A and B are shown apart, each in its own frame.
Chain A
Amino acid sequence: MSPELQQVGREEFVLNMGPHHPATHGVLRFVLHTDGEIMRRAVPEVGYLHRGLEKLAEAHTYAAYVPFTDRINYLESMFCNQVWSMAVERLLGLQVPRRAEYLRVIACELNRIANHCIALGSIAMDVGAYTPFVYLLREREAINDLLEALCGNRLTYHYVRIGGVAHDVDEGWQGKVRAYLDHLEPILDELHSLVGGNEILVRRLGGVAVICASDAVGWGLVGPNLRASGVDWDLRRDRPYSVYPELSFEVPVGRGEQGQVGDCYDRWTVRVAEMRQSVRLLRQALERLPAGDILAKVPRSIKPPAGEVYQPVEGARGELGLYLVSDGSPKPSRAKWRSSSFAALSIVEHLSRGLMIADLVALIASLDPIAPEVDR
C-alpha cells in the first residue's frame, strides 16, 4: 500500500444525521464518526422531545394522567393507556370486567397492526422503496378510522381507562373490523410480492447489522427486535396478562431466512408475521367478546394504598413497562416509563462500528425506534 493510501483512514469525518432527517423517525440526532463510508461509531443524541412526562405524572391525579400516556408514544397509545391502567388497577386491587379485557385486546391488536404498518413502511422507505410506505399508510388509515369510531380520536385514543375501557362497541363496528381483517390478509400477501420478496430489499436488509441473542438480551432489546435475534419470548404468552391465555396465537421468531439470525431482514419478517398473528387474535377476540360491563366500579377519587408496582405489557415494540410508586395520596409519587425504543437506541452505538452509513439507516429503521418514547 502506498504511503498516501495508508494515511487514508487516519482522519475522522464527523457528520450530523438529524435532528431533522427522514430516517430518524422523529426528532433525534446521530453524530456519525466516519472514515469514508465506513462508520467508526454513531452516537445517538436524544432529548429533543423531552416533555417531562414523568415529572408531569407527579402533578396530576391518576385518572387525569391517562391522556398524557397517549403522548408517550403516538404509535402505540393504546398500550400506554393499558399499562398505566393495569398498574393502577394492581395497586388498587381492582378486577376489570371481562368484556373490557376483550375490548382492550381488540383495541391493542388493532393498534399493533397500525404500528407495524408504519414500521414496515418506514423500513422500506429508508432503504429506498417509497411506494410500499404509501400502501401501508392506506392500511393504517383504515385502522385509524376504526379506532376513531371506537374512541373518538385517531392517535391519542384515551380509550383504556382505569378499571376498564371508555366506550362499548356495537355489532356494526365489529362487522367493520371483520371486513377490514378480510381485506387485510390478502394485502399482507401482496406486501410480500410488492416489497418483502424484492431482491433489492433483501440485499439491503439480509445479513446487515446482525444482533446476536446475548447482545439483544444484555442491551435490553424487547419485542420484535428481541425475537428477530432468536429469543422466543412474548409476554402475552409467557407472562400472560389480560385474556391472552384464552386466545391462541404463535410467536414468530427470526430464523435468518436471508442471511443470519438477528439481521435487519429478520426484524422485517418478524413484524410481518406478527401482523398475521394479530389478525388471528382479533378474529378470536371478536368471536368470544362476552356481554357485560365495560367499566369496573372505580372510586370517584382514586387513592391507591402506598406501594409500588412494575407493570409490563407486550406493546407493539415489545415490553413497555411502567414503574409506579404510590404514597397513598391522589397523585403518583413517581412514575418511570421503560420504553422499548430507549433500549433500541442505546444499542446503536455498539452496533455501528464498521457499518456503512446506508446500513446504519437500515439498522435504525429496522429497530423501529420512536423518538418521543425515548425522550418522554
Chain B
Amino acid sequence: MSPAEELATCQAALAGALGEAPTVGGAAPDPAGAAAPAGDAWLEVPAARWREACRAARDLPELGFDFLRSLAGVDRPEAGRIDVVAHLFSYRHRRALVLRTSLERAAPELDSVAQVWPAADWHERELWDLLGVRLRGHPDLRRLLLPEDWPGHPLRKDWQEPAEYRGIPTRREARATAGELAKQTYLAPRGLGRDPAGGQPDGGGGA
C-alpha cells in the first residue's frame, strides 16, 4: 500500500470508531505514490476524543498500533496552541501513523494514555515537565527530568532561563579579557602552570 492509501485506511477505521473522521494534515502524500512527500502527514483528532482515538488505534484489528514510538509536544505560541503528537507503529501491519491533537495553550489538559500504551507513562511525564501539559488520569504525574521546584516549563517558546536556581548561577562567569587573563591566570603568582624556574609548582602528574 502506498502512504496515501495507508493514511486513508487509518482515517476510515478511526472515523468508524469515533463517529467523526479525523482530519488529515501535514504534507499530504502524493496520491500517485510516485515521489515521497517532503514530510509526514498526520491525522488530527479533537482533544476530547484523544484517549478514545488512541484506544481504537491500538485495539482495532485493522489498525493494531501496538508500539508508541514517541509522544511529543510542540509549542505554537503564535497560534496559541500546544500540539501533542503521537508517533505510532504497528508491528503486525508494518505501518506507521502520526496521531495528533491540539490544546489550548493557556491551560493545556489532556487525557492520559498511559493505560493504552505503558510506554506513554514517561513520555507524558516529560510532556508535563517540559511543556506543562497536564495529563488527566496519569498514575504518577511528577516531573521527569527537572527538579520538582524548577520554574516553568522550558520547552515553551517564551520560557526564560532564570539567572540562578537555588543560589547556583545558571551561567558561567563572563569571559576574561586577554588583558585580565594575563594578570589572573597561569602567569600570575597563583602557583598554576609554568614556573620560571622550571619546577612543578602545582605538583601535578609528570613526575
Contact = CB atoms under 8 A, between A and B. Distances in A.
Asked whether the complex places CB atoms of A and B closer than 8 A, the reply is yes
A217 B116 CA distance: 12
A243 B72 CA distance: 29
A310 B40 contact: yes
Q: What size tier do the contact residues of chain B reach? A: 20 to 34
B4 interface: no
A253 to B, nearest CB: 13
A240 to B, nearest CB: 12
A262 to B, nearest CB: 15
Contacts of B130: 54
Contacts of A93: 38
Contact of B68 (A220, A312, A323, A326): A220
A338 B69 contact: yes
A346 B145 contact: no
Interface in A332-373: 333-334, 336, 338, 342-343, 345-347, 350
Nearest to A231: B91
B26 A346 contact: no
A217 B91 contact: yes
B137 interface: no
A218 interface: yes
A109 to B, nearest CB: 23
A350 B155 contact: no
A314 interface: no
A346 B119 contact: yes
Q: What size tier do the contact residues of chain A reach? A: 35 or more
Given A346-B119, A346-B122, A217 B66 contact: yes
Interface in B156-170: 157
Contacts of B40: 307-310
Given A50-B146, A310-B69, A312-B69, A238 B94 contact: yes
A375 interface: yes
A91 interface: yes
Contacts of B36: 90
A321 B155 contact: no
B27 interface: yes
Contact of A321 (B38, B69, B118, B121): B69
Nearest to A334: B74
Contacts of A316: none
Contact of B38 (A55, A58, A91): A91
Given A54-B155, A307-B26, A323-B87, A47 B146 contact: yes
19 contacts: A47-B144, A47-B145, A50-B145, A52-B154, A215-B118, A217-B67, A220-B67, A220-B68, A305-B38, A308-B26, A310-B96, A319-B69, A321-B70, A334-B75, A334-B155, A336-B72, A342-B122, A343-B122, A376-B145
